[in-house]
Structure formats: structure tokens, C-alpha cells
């Protein structure tokens, strides 16, 4: 028998659950990540010291970029690299890889020795493996992007078995129309939405004169990873520190839950001076304004 007291108690529980539900979908705001390509020269010379500097700035998450070819993480095997990360309070939830179509003898790519790449990533605790870039020779016509979509599906199946999510990272060339369609649309349509997610690079989407929010609305839940880099207000529209340019990240971050965002990474391909100065500026803006 339902009494007034039990009714009120049940209603309170339901109301609390409804209030909490949106939070359950939110990304973990405690992580501010850095794509290590930003400090690539320093990582090549002294990866251990560089990661310590990155952590001292305040970053607690990084995204790797060197496995392809060497099948090492910055010259280290998974166990050694994992220890360096742990010693500095860092996690590496995501790492970049090449498709490998233009280098059939290059190992550790989507198309060559991918099973080892997946095993190594899983052992390190990587949650997302990202096809980072297509060389000019790998792009081609729309039919070729359809084939790439199929290749990504196969790679995504191997990732799924290891508890990893495959993603694809965009630049601007995917938004050059071919027969009235964008290659990016072809990739989205010809890859399984569960096997292949997207890492949205905000700078390149906007440089291509596209709207990241519109893409999120059209493909909700498909963008668990973001690259956060800003665009200056000069005619060259080049890279600049987050908060120092023209991209309205406050507006974009309002759509994080709909995008399915899990992790984001600061990336600045070219810095005006020391990349450590640039990433410090970006980190401070993000911490004070975006999360």
C-alpha cells in the first residue's frame, strides 16, 4: 500500500535521479590533456624530462604520437613508458597512429601489424587509438574514402575486442568537396558509428569554414575526443594559444555532453617561441574559463 510518506520518498529519489542524470553523461573535467606533438622536439631529446615539465605546468593527461614505425612509445616499451607516466601523475588515454597505405612496410599502422599495436596500447591502458592523418597519397576520390571507411571498421573491430575505441582525427582536407560531397561525410557514412568514432580538431574544422556544433548536432555521441587549438585573427589564420584567438570555446564546450566528449587535448602545431610558454598559457585559460 502506497502511503503519502512512501510516495514522497519515492518522488524525492526519482527527482534526485533526474537531476543527477545529466552529470552521469558529462566528461571528466579533472583531466586537461596535451597532444605531445606540441612538444615533439623536446620529447625526442628528453622524453622523461619533458613529461615532468608538462606535469609541472598542470596537465594530467597526454596523447601520444610516435608509435607508428618504431612500435615504441617515445623510444620506450609500454611498461617503461607507463612507469614514466605514473611517476609524473599522468595518464595517456589516447594515442595517434597512421593508416599506413602509403608505407606498406611501415609497422604499427592501421594496415600493417595492427594487432600488435592494439596489444601494446591495451597493455599501456590506452582507451582510444586514433588514425591521425592521411598523407596526400592516401586521400584520393570519394570511392577511396569509402574503402578507408571499411579499413577503419576492420581496425575498429580489433580495437573493440581489446576494450579500445578507434577514432579518426580530421584536418581541413576532408572538407574539400568532391562531386558535391565532403570526404568527411563519406568517412562518417561508410564507417560504423560504434566501431569508429571521431576526434574533432576544432581548429581544422573551423579553418575549413565548417561549424563544429552543427557536426555535433548531426552526429551526436560520435566525438569523444577533441583537439583544442585556437586560431589567430590575422589573414593567415594560423595556430595560437587557447583563449588568444577567435574560436569561441565557451560556446563549443556547452555541447560537450551531446558530442559524447570524454577527453580533450591542447595541441599547437607551431608556437611563436617556447612551446612550454604556449601550453602554459593555454592550460591557464582552460582551467580558468572552460572547466
Q: Where are the domains of the chain?
A: 31-289
What is the structure's pLDDT at 5?
Answer: 45
Among residues 239, 113, 240, 225, the alpha carbon closest in space to that of 169 is found at 225
What is the structure's pLDDT at 15?
Answer: 39
Domain 31-289: assigned CATH number: 3.20.20.150
- pLDDT tens by residue, 49-97: 999 999 999 999 999 999 999 999 999 999 999 999 999 999 999 999 9
**Which H or E run includes 168?**
strand 165-169
What is the structure's pLDDT at 27?
Answer: 78
The whole-model pTM stands at 0.91
Helices first, then strands: H and E counts in the chain: 14, 10
What is the structure's pLDDT at 28?
Answer: 80
- Which residues of the chain are under the pLDDT cut of 50? 1-24
Amino acid at each position: 500500500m502506497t502511503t503519502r510518506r512512501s510516495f514522497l520518498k519515492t518522488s524525492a529519489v526519482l527527482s534526485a535521479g533526474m537531476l543527477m542524470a545529466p552529470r552521469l553523461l558529462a566528461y571528466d573535467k579533472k583531466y586537461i590533456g596535451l597532444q605531445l606533438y606540441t612538444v615533439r622536439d623536446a620529447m625526442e631529446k628528453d622524453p622523461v624530462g619533458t613529461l615532468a615539465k608538462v606535469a609541472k605546468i598542470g596537465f594530467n593527461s597526454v596523447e601520444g604520437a610516435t608509435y607508428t614505425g618504431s612500435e615504441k612509445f617515445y623510444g620506450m616499451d609500454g611498461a617503461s613508458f607507463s612507469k614514466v607516466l605514473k611517476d609524473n601523475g599522468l595518464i595517456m588515454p589516447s594515442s595517434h597512429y597512421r593508416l599506413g597505405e602509403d608505407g606498406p612496410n611501415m609497422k604499427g599502422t592501421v594496415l600493417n601489424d595492427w594487432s600488435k599495436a592494439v596489444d601494446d596500447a591495451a597493455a599501456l591502458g590506452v582507451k582510444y587509438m586514433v588514425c591521425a592523418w592521411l598523407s596526400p597519397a592516401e586521400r584520393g576520390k570519394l570511392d577511396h574514402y569509402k574503402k578507408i571507411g571499411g579499413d577503419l571498421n576492420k581496425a575498429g573491430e580489433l580495437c573493440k575486442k581489446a576494450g579500445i575505441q578507434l577514432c579518426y582525427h580530421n584536418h581541413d582536407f576532408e572538407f574539400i568537396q568532391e562531386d558535391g560531397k565532403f570526404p568527411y561525410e563519406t568517412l562518417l557514412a561508410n564507417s560504423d558509428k560504434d566501431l569508429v568514432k571521431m576526434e574533432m580538431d576544432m581548429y581544422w574544422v573551423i579553418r575549413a569554414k565548417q561549424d563544429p556544433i552543427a557536426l555535433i548536432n548531426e552526429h551526436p555521441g560520435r566525438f569523444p575526443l577533441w583537439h583544442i587549438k585556437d586560431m589567430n585573427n590575422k589573414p593567415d589564420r594560423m595556430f595560437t594559444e587557447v583563449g588568444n584567438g577567435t574560436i569561441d570555446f565557451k560556446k563549443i564546450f556547452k555541447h560537450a555532453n551531446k558530442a559524447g566528449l570524454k577527453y580533450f587535448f591542447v595541441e599547437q602545431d607551431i608556437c611563436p617561441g617556447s612551446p612550454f610558454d604556449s601550453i602554459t598559457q593555454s592550460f591557464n585559460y582552460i582551467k580558468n574559463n572552460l572547466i
